[in-house]
Amino acid sequence: MSDAERYERIVEVLRVLEEMSWDRVILVEGRRDVTALEHLGIFGDIYTVQASGGPIKAAEYVADKKKKAVILTDWDRKGDIIASDLEVHLNALDVQYDTAVRSRLAELCRIDIKDVQSLDELVHRLAV
């Protein structure tokens, strides 16, 4: 797949994420992830799991908001563990969540980056 094709596919996934951000809580690991998403035009209710008490607190936050969640942790080993923990705790509170966006971004970006905080830089580089 060419960089141009990959760019288009990443942008398509980001459009889906932007639409989801209107009525869902996006769960990321840290503040730099929030900044990267904002640089990409994705705002809304973005919750930093690591800075705000971990997966249990994140699941409780989403449940209290009575919203669905988007799990968007990094696609490295640590991010996989956090995503798995989030799934367990969200399931325990009967909160619906999406992991497809994370999976698709990981698939498209893994050869260049391993984290959400680098996503804006990659998109900018591929756009040129």
- Other Cβ atoms less than 10 A from the Cβ of 19: the count is 11
> How far is it, in rounded angstroms, from Cα 124 to Cα 31?
20
- Find all residues with CB under 8 Å of 81, minimum gap 6, and list them: none
- Other Cβ atoms less than 10 A from the Cβ of 75: the count is 19
pTM summary value: 0.95
Q: Are 50 and 79 in contact (CB under 8 A)?
A: no
Query: Three-state SS across 23-47?
Result: CEEEEECCHHHHHHHHHCCCCCEEE
Question: Which tens digits make up the pLDDT trace of 5-37?
Answer: 999 999 999 999 999 999 999 999 999 999 999
What are the sequence ranges of the domains in the chain?
Answer: 3-127
- Other Cβ atoms less than 10 A from the Cβ of 35: the count is 14
Question: Which tens digits make up the pLDDT trace of 57-106?
Answer: 999 999 999 999 999 999 999 999 999 999 999 999 999 999 999 999 99
Question: Which tens digits make up the pLDDT trace of 92-109?
Answer: 999 999 999 999 999 999
CATH class for domain 3-127? alpha beta
CA 61 to chain centre: 16
- Find all residues with CB under 8 Å of 107, minimum gap 6, and list them: none
